[in-house]
């Protein structure tokens, strides 16, 4: 059974409810737990204890007679892992390629909002808002807008450390669940989640998977984001670096440097690919799944 459409329907019904379960008073992890418990069969999810909190992971087993192992899917920070903008649509495609998938919601991150951020500018140096006012149909595409490098940091040192600790707690709990599924261990992570996990694997703060797939990897802060190419290059595991032309500027501005750093570091089993097509379309997910399968097949998996 393909579970992700049911999860999406469930989330939509929750968001459209009159009182939205008093969302302002309910923790994100608890809301996720309510969603999944109300909509899915008990055998399709697990409840994990994270310190004094609980979270749930949605598990879909391989559709093949011989399973390749378990793929842990970690969505972008601040997004429900089972939502359309997460990686839920990728799970059934990997199931068809022989993977049991464990769908995980990343720890939330409360960005500092009290900051004087400079306006985003176009490639020609014109503020994006001015360009839009001049001609609404002439707004430069995302990959031509330059992020602000001098804005006040939105990820403080204490917040960065706390997020690392939250990821350690989450992934250690998920690893215990993954061990129930023999075979290879694959991590597929999106956005800032990919950056934090790659760093933690490189620092040997987490048990290493057999490979990691990063999708739109970035940190939305200049002094952190410029570290991403080196972090991926020194990761002791194979890396498939996927991105899309509609990704954030933070991802696109380091795309070339990520590849160059891997070459300079003589990193084995690094591959970078651009996923063609609009974001979060079914066609793109199909293409993404085939890229992952092709790369793993090349490595002999």
pLDDT at 238 over 70: yes
At residue 69 the predicted structure's pLDDT band, cuts being 50, 70 and 90, is: very high
Name all domains of the chain by residue range, CATH numbers in brackets: 56-113+152-298 (3.40.50.1820), 116-151 (no CATH)
With a CB cutoff of 8 Å and minimum separation 6, the contacts of 248 are 142, 147, 191, 216, 218, 220
Residue with tokens 């399968």: 293
pTM for the full model? Answer: 0.77
Let me know: does 106 contact 193? Beta carbons within 8 Å. Answer: yes
Q: What is the 3-state secondary structure (H, E, C) of 38-81?
A: HHCCHHHEEEEEECCEEEEEEEECCCCCCCCEEEEEECCCCCCC
pLDDT in tens, 214-227: 999 999 999 999 99
Q: What percent of the chain has pLDDT over 70?
A: 66
With a cut of 70, say whether residue 246 has pLDDT above it: yes
- In this structure, the strands spanning 184-190 and 69-74 are parallel
**pLDDT higher than 70, residue 264:** yes
Which conformational region is residue 34 in: left (phi greater than 0), alpha (psi within -120 to 50 degrees), or beta? alpha
286, exposed or middle or buried, with CB in 10 Å at 0-12, 13-18, 19+? middle
Lowest mean pLDDT among 46-50, 113-117, 256-260: 113-117
Cα-Cα-Cα-Cα dihedral sign, residues 190, 196, 199, 205: negative
């Amino acid at each position: 059974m393909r579970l992700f459409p049911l999860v999406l329907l469930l989330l939509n019904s929750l968001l459209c409810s009159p009182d939205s379960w008093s969302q302002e008073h309910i923790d994100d992890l608890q809301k996720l737990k309510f969603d999944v418990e109300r909509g899915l069969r008990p055998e399709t999810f697990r409840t994990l204890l994270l310190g004094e909190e609980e979270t749930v992971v949605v598990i879909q087993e391989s559709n093949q007679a011989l399973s390749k192992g378990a793929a842990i899917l970690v969505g972008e920070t601040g997004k429900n892992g089972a939502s359309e903008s997460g990686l839920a649509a990728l799970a059934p495609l990997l199931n068809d390629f022989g993977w049991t998938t464990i769908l995980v919601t990343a720890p939330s991150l409360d960005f500092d909002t009290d900051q004087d951020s400079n306006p985003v500018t176009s490639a020609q140096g014109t503020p994006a808002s001015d360009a839009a006012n001049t001609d609404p149909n002439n707004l430069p595409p995302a990959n031509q807008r330059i992020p602000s490098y001098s804005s006040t940091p939105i990820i403080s040192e204490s917040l960065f450390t706390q997020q690392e600790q939250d990821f350690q707690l989450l992934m250690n709990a998920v690893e215990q669940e993954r061990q129930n599924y023999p075979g290879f261990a694959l991590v597929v992570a999106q956005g800032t989640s990919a950056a934090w996990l790659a760093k933690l694997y490189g620092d040997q703060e987490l048990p290493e998977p057999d490979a990691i797939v990063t999708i739109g990897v970035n940190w939305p802060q200049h002094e952190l984001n410029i570290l991403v190419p080196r972090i991926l290059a020194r990761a002791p595991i194979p890396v498939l670096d996927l991105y899309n032309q509609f990704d954030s500027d933070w991802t696109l501005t380091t795309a070339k440097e990520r590849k160059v750093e891997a070459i300079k570091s003589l990193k084995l089993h690094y591959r970078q690919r651009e996923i063609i097509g609009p974001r979060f379309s079914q066609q793109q997910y199909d293409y993404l799944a085939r890229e992952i399968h092709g790369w793993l097949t090349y490595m002999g998996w």
